[in-house]
Amino acid sequence: MNFIIDNFEKIKAIVNNNKINIIAVSKSFQHDHIKPLIDYGHTHFGENKVQEATNKWLNIKNQIPEINLHLIGRLQSNKAKEAIKLFDYIHSLDSLKLASLLAKFEQSLNLKRKYFIQVNIGAEKQKNGIQIEQVDEFYYYCKKTLQLNIVGLMAIPPLGKDISKYFKLLMEFNQSLGLSELSMGMSSDFREALKYETTFVRIGSAIFGNRS
């Protein structure tokens, strides 16, 4: 068995829940490296950059429409239109300006996408995301005024801290908004995220190996 498939099956066994989606984070890996997992039938893949993802995935998605592509990195405003064209899910909705642009391009392109609001759960200056006290207002503006399909919240907890506290907090925010999806948990901490009702885990190195 290919080592990537072997790694994927190990992750799948730990997750052990058909309602939890494993996003295989393929950023910086070339097509030949990720092809075994595509051929295996996996359908959720994550990328950080719009241009890299377009070069890598456009033809593949045309050939295999079942693939769901997730943008998990920061989305710059000047890439919003291209992102709408390519990605099925955007996990990094983090500003009013970006939300307004996405709504505008959805309308002009006649496309609807699924969005996670990125929350700056640890109030870290170096991280993007909506501040905790602004999440409710931002959600309702995106949902009601802009008519964006907000499916859940996303966050990356602070390094070196009690991550369970932050996962629990994000879960409670998600529940208070009545959202059905939750994006949290990466290669290093997804086991902990599984305890707090995550529905999308973002796994890169634990599947594909270390990046060069």
Would you call 145 exposed, middle or buried from its count of C-beta atoms within 10 A (0-12, 13-18, 19+)?
Answer: exposed
Place of tokens 């009601």: 144
Whether 113 and 92 have beta carbons less than 8 Å apart is answered as no
| pLDDT tens, residue by residue, 2-20 | 999 999 999 999 999 999 9
Q: How far apart are CA 164 and CA 193, in angstroms?
A: 7
User: Which of the residue ranges 12-26, 39-53, 133-147, 152-166 would you say has the lowest mean pLDDT?
Assistant: 152-166
Please compute, for residue 133, the number of CA atoms within 13 A of its CA located in the half-sphere on the CB side: 1
Q: How much is the pTM?
A: 0.96
Place of tokens 């990046």: 211
| Domain 3-208 annotated CATH 3.30.1360.170 | no
Q: Where are the domains of the chain?
A: 3-208
User: In Å, how far are 25, 101, 109 from 62, measured between CA atoms?
Assistant: 20, 25, 17
User: Which of the residue ranges 24-33, 83-92, 124-133 would you say has the lowest mean pLDDT?
Assistant: 124-133
Q: Say whether pLDDT at 89 is over 90.
A: yes
Mean pLDDT of the region 96-114 = 98
Q: Say whether pLDDT at 161 is over 80.
A: no
Q: What is the pLDDT of residue 39?
A: 97
- Please, what sign has the CA dihedral across residues 34, 38, 40, 42? positive
